[in-house]
Chain A
Amino acid sequence: MKNIAWLASYPKSGNTWVRAFLTAFFRKPGEGNGFINDLVAVSAASRKIIEEELCLETSELTMEELENLRPEAMRSFAKEIDKAPHFIKVHDAYTNTPSGEALFPKEISIGVIYIVRNPLDVAVSFAHHNGEDVEKTISLMANSKTHISQNTNSIQLQVVQKLQSWDEHVKSWIHQTDIPCLLIKYEDMIADPETEFKKILDFCKIPFSEAELRSAINRSSFSSLQSHEMKEGFKEKAINASAFFRKGKAGSWRDDLTTEQANKLLRNHMDTMKELGYIDKAGNFLH
């Protein structure tokens, strides 16, 4: 049965904002503060969930064995769901396991909401999140072998996730034809949140009123999330970052990147940036 809606994105592209909107939407106004640390959508890479679904100790599996078993973990998770759609957060690229199976099974998938953001803004945000310099992040975003949560000498609370390069990540999701895909741009969410969040609810066939939509948008606005983080902390903030909800703007890369850094990112990701409308045919920035 198809009951999973994947919320997929490269890191720092707006995934948490969408989760916050959905959380606010499903909670009535005034129904408790503290929702920031109780957001909808478990992670597809949660080691605890994978272990529970497989009934196996994942730390004793090789990376290849674990990757081969992840689709089964998701199928098992989906069997226990009684209300659709059920949202699952994903940072992995859409790839096949070493045994050749799609990492995200189509037979359980209603669709994927793929959230994309200008890679120049992603680079700045990702660098802050990791506590690293932007040059290193630019290289990481260009590398087909980039993973997150990978450490062969210890265990992480999440399992290894293959990101690939930024543009490979984007293309893997928006060009695949196994799972229906709704593309949402971070910049469009900022410019016109009502239209974009409405698209998400319609895509998932979730009924709503205009009042409910506006209320959820207000309660999950960037300033609201920043305020929540300051008061309550945010458990998903990386240890090296000063804050998770930092700027929340489109185009702030112009303040943070040198011309050389911006051009490097442009060269690395030009085709996909054109396809997504981040640059025009001549290579001029549009965002």
Chain B
Amino acid sequence: MIPTSPGNTVLPYNYFANGLFISSEIPFPELLPVDGDIKPSLQILTGRVPQHLENTIFSSAIYQVSGDEFLLDIEHTAKYLVKGNHTIVIEPYAGAEENVIRLYILSTLFGVVLHKHHMLALHTSCIKIGDKAVLVAGPSGIGKSTLALGLHRKGYEIMNDDISAVVFNAQGEPQVYPGYVHIKLWANSLESYGYETEGFRQLRKDVRKYSFPLGNYHNFAPVSLKGIFFIGQNKEEGIRREVLTGLSTFRYLQTNTFRYRLIKMLNISENHFALCTRLANKIPLISISRPENTPPDVFADYMEDQFNNL
């Protein structure tokens, strides 16, 4: 597991996600709860967050990066400070909704923490096929989560949705950790499988996106990774499949790294390149492009076949 940091405050909520034991001052229904005491790799607490970092390397209207810290400022929600790879401090703005405060932690800030732990954080869903895992990558809106739902309905375990943390074991083989215990789905995706949105927690008002609970997993250990599929769209009549080779493997891994821009900002480009190269040399990377109007269940059947024949 990921090493813990010394001098941690005891916080009331304990979780596990993406290889990290997490202690938090605020509850996260999206994460797997852990009973008993833990030695956390990551603490999440409320406190004062400065307006500006000193000696910034990168800055924009919403984020700043200094040597050891990452600051995210979301108007009307909160300021967040990632200290090293071990602490997230939240200073909410007055009137901010708790579920909205959590959204930025579960996406961008977790990405920052995983990158700082030198894991290869990819923008993918992860499905367990037998005793191994496959990742499904692609841009937001391409249908990763809808596919995950389709496979969940077929009885497959969805290990995570959105961020997958890839590591290498002592034998140099790639593995991936389980992550969040929900899939985030748009109303259309839920309804395409016959669900009604009223039965699910809406992530935030004014956005018709919902939390679909997966049930808790029982094993924190990472699972061997057997392949990555990159999903795209085509304008043709059928699904196209291509095994990636050469430089295109790195390009695909790069563009599907979780918030790739963070890599340069956090000064971890060399490590990232090495991780991508190792991964590309170990497992098949496959591009799948499908027509825009492919029904979700048809695509789920196709991908199930692909996963099982890998």
| Residues on A facing B (Cβ under 8 Å) | 47-48, 51-62, 65, 68-69, 72, 75-76, 151-157, 233-235, 237, 239
Contact = CB atoms under 8 A, between A and B. Distances in A.
B187 interface: yes
A151 B111 CA distance: 27
B236 interface: yes
B141 A72 contact: no
18 contacts: A47-B139, A52-B259, A55-B108, A55-B111, A56-B62, A56-B107, A56-B108, A60-B107, A60-B204, A60-B209, A68-B75, A72-B60, A75-B61, A152-B208, A156-B141, A157-B140, A233-B234, A239-B235
A76 B108 CA distance: 17
B188 to A, nearest CB: 4
A153 B208 contact: yes
Given A60-B203, A60-B204, A51 B187 contact: no
A106 to B, nearest CB: 16
Nearest to B77: A65
Contacts of B184: 59-60
Interface in B105-144: 107-108, 111, 139-142
A153 B108 contact: no
Given A57-B140, A157-B141, A62 B260 contact: no
A179 B207 CA distance: 33
B186 interface: yes
B186 A153 contact: yes
A51 B142 CA distance: 14
Given A52-B260, A52-B261, A157-B141, A237 B209 contact: no
B189 interface: yes
B10 interface: no
A58 B209 CA distance: 12
Interface pairs A-B: 9 shortest CB-CB:
A154-B188, A153-B187, A155-B141, A57-B107, A154-B186, A153-B188, A48-B139, A62-B206, A72-B61
A69 B207 contact: no
B293 interface: yes
Contacts of B261: 52-53, 55
Nearest to A69: B62
Given A55-B259, A55-B261, A75-B60, A237 B140 contact: no
Contacts of A61: 207
Contacts of A235: 233-235
A104 B72 CA distance: 23
Contacts of A156: 141
Interface of B: 60-63, 72, 75, 103-104, 107-108, 111, 139-142, 162, 184, 186-189, 191, 203-204, 206-209, 233-236, 259-262, 291-293
Given A152-B208, A154-B188, 7 more contacts: A55-B259, A56-B104, A57-B108, A76-B60, A151-B188, A155-B141, A239-B291
A152 B233 CA distance: 21
Nearest to A68: B75
Most buried by B among A47, A69, A72, A153: A153
A60 B107 CA distance: 10
A157 B139 contact: yes
B293 A239 contact: yes
A86 B162 CA distance: 31
Nearest to B112: A55
Contacts of B61: 72, 75
A235 B291 CA distance: 11
Most buried by A among B75, B184, B259: B259
Contacts of B75: 65, 68
Contacts of B233: 157, 235
Contacts of B63: 55
Nearest to B63: A55
B207 to A, nearest CB: 6
A239 B208 contact: no
B124 to A, nearest CB: 14
Contacts of A154: 141, 186-189
Contacts of A54: 62
B77 to A, nearest CB: 9
A60 B261 CA distance: 19
Contacts of A72: 60-62
Given A152-B208, A154-B189, A237-B235, A58 B60 contact: no
Contact of B186 (A58, A155, A233): A155
Given A54-B62, A72-B60, A153-B186, A47 B291 contact: no
Given A57-B103, A60-B107, A75-B60, A47 B141 contact: yes
Contacts of A157: 139-142, 233
Contacts of B208: 152-153
B138 to A, nearest CB: 10
